[in-house]
Amino acid sequence: MTAVDRPWVVGAAILYLVTVLAIGVAARRKTRTPGDFWIAGRRLGLLVTGLATLSSAFSGFVFVGGPGLAYRLGIGSLWIVLPIGFTSGLLCWVVGARLRALAGVREVFTVPDAIAERWRTPSVTALAALAVLCGSIAYLGLQVQAVGIVLQAIFGLSSPLGAMLLGAGVLAAYCMLGGMVAGVHTDVLQGLLMALVGVVVFAQALAVNGGLAPMVSAVSRAPEFGPTFLEPLGRVPAATAFATFFVFGIGVLGQPHVLHKFYMLRDPAQMRYLPLVVAGGQALSVLLWCGVGLAVPALVARGVLEPIARPDDAAPAFLLGFAPDLVAGLAFACILAAITSNADSLVNVASAALVRDLPRALGARVENELARGRAASLAVTALAVGVAHLYGDLIAILGTFAFGLFGAALAPVMALGLHWRRVTARAAGASIFVGLAATLGLELASRAALAEGLPGLSWSFHPAATALAASFATLVVVTALTRTDPSREPHAAVARALDLDPA
């Protein structure tokens, strides 16, 4: 089913796409320096920074991938979002406050910038930039995949690849024009839409099924779902569920597209209130995942809706088949907003890694970083289309891989390295390398096993969780075995900003 015969839904989608492009054009006039392009000039207030952080954390992963994963795995899919009860505080108070303090004494735009100031070792900075680039392309791939699914549902496009290319074109144009100045303006709209749509769609899911009790009853009695679908672990093995909780609870400290929002906060004193804004918006937004994730199986169990062949179509199928035009139009606009803002953040940090972080770490200097940053945005988006097309799995599975890659490579050095002065440059570099290599290696091995018809490594242990644990262990062990090099010690101003204990 498509929305072609529902003009209000199509109109809402077109209006949103035109609006974001207009924002990009308007923002281009305000984007004059690399600082404007990458961190919006560091002039954002509490609400805008909070909404920007929320928008970076939630995307097509939650609004399209979440219901799709719930359709396949049941309640066990929620282990991904259970950590939101504490991750906003962890983000802001463990890492965010240190990054904003560092921005007060140094020109830092990115996570590799912070790593360069902390350890003053080009090889460590280069490894961090490489991790940012790899993770961003993978994460952006899920956004391209999600926008393709949404555009197929709205406009009835027959080719998944064609829909992805169309969506990627809009994303690339938007990101190239305005950079982060455009992104933060969209983030305000998106953050508000996410919270509103989460509540409205959840209420619609309950109404369509006659309430929570009938919905749960229908699912539990259906042979294709059954009572295990509604158990705390759903269809997810216990080890995988707990490992997922670990990855999304601790790995959040290594998400560069989220972390670099903290540089933008105008007043560092407001950092203490930021978790309230972020966590409140996340809690409301996740209601869409819960509502649609239960409503669609219930509708299938009752025979009202045909079984979903592609689980990622669950959210579009519910919105087009069971939501009023106003709700469906609002929800699709919200999903497009979520995808657009998150994609802008990812393109932003990836282009910075290409034209700023890697060249500086290698001793080179790129002329006209602003123009090159825009060109890099197009290249990164094109690579993401390839990842989305070749990966061939659920949006949430690709998202878990990308999130885990960021977490394994960067969370240990950000969580411990910004607090513990004893962490050496060798330990930081080894940790990033192990996290990056282990995530990529285990993921490739797991997918190769699945392609051969084997159970797959991900069901015996979680690749991202294993890589994250190995990265933490590497950081601690190598720190214990090595001594700090005085030439790699942070400058006094940086040490004071990070509140590092004397060596």
User: Taking 90 as the threshold, does the pLDDT of residue 301 lie above it?
Assistant: yes
pLDDT tens-digit profile of 200-234?
A: 999 999 999 999 999 999 999 998 888 889 999 88
User: Taking 90 as the threshold, does the pLDDT of residue 290 lie above it?
Assistant: yes
Distance CA 432, CA 129 (A): 10
**Predicted local confidence at residue 69, as pLDDT:** 92
Helix, strand, coil % in the chain, rounded to nearest 5 = 80, 0, 20
pLDDT tens-digit profile of 31-86?
A: 555 555 444 445 567 777 787 777 777 777 888 889 999 999 999 999 999 998 89
User: Taking 50 as the threshold, does the pLDDT of residue 307 lie above it?
Assistant: yes
447, part of any domain: yes
User: Taking 70 as the threshold, does the pLDDT of residue 125 lie above it?
Assistant: yes
**Predicted local confidence at residue 490, as pLDDT:** 92
503, part of any domain: no
19, part of any domain: yes
1, part of any domain: no
How distant is the alpha carbon of residue 310 from its chain centre?
Answer: 22
2, part of any domain: no
Distance CA 273, CA 181 (A): 23
**Predicted local confidence at residue 459, as pLDDT:** 43
Count other Cβ atoms within 10 Å, centred on residue 238.
10
Q: What CATH number does the domain containing 407 carry?
A: 1.20.1730.10
- In SS3 terms, 437-497 reads as HHHHHHHHHHHHHHHCCCCCHHHCCCHHHHHHHHHHHHHHHHHHHCCCCHHHCCCHHHHHH
Distance CA 226, CA 201 (A): 24
Place of tokens 């998944």: 160
Mean pLDDT across the chain, nearest whole number?
84
Instruction: Give the three-state DSSP class for 347.
Output: helix
Give the CB-side neighbour count of residue 148, counting CA atoms within 13 A: 23
pLDDT tens-digit profile of 412-463?
A: 999 999 999 999 999 999 999 999 999 999 888 877 776 666 554 444 458 8
Instruction: Tell me how long the chain is.
Output: 503
Give the CB-side neighbour count of residue 196, counting CA atoms within 13 A: 18
Structure tokens at 200: 């409205």
Which tops the pLDDT comparison, 382 or 30? Answer: 382
Number of domains making up the chain: 1
264, part of any domain: yes
For residue 415, give its domain range.
7-497
User: Taking 70 as the threshold, does the pLDDT of residue 21 lie above it?
Assistant: no
297, part of any domain: yes
Asked if 37 and 177 touch (Cβ cutoff 8 Å), the reply is: no
502, part of any domain: no
**Predicted local confidence at residue 448, as pLDDT:** 75
**Predicted local confidence at residue 124, as pLDDT:** 96
Mean local confidence (pLDDT), 349-357:
87
User: Taking 80 as the threshold, does the pLDDT of residue 198 lie above it?
Assistant: yes
Question: Does pTM top 0.75 for this prediction?
Answer: yes
**Predicted local confidence at residue 252, as pLDDT:** 94
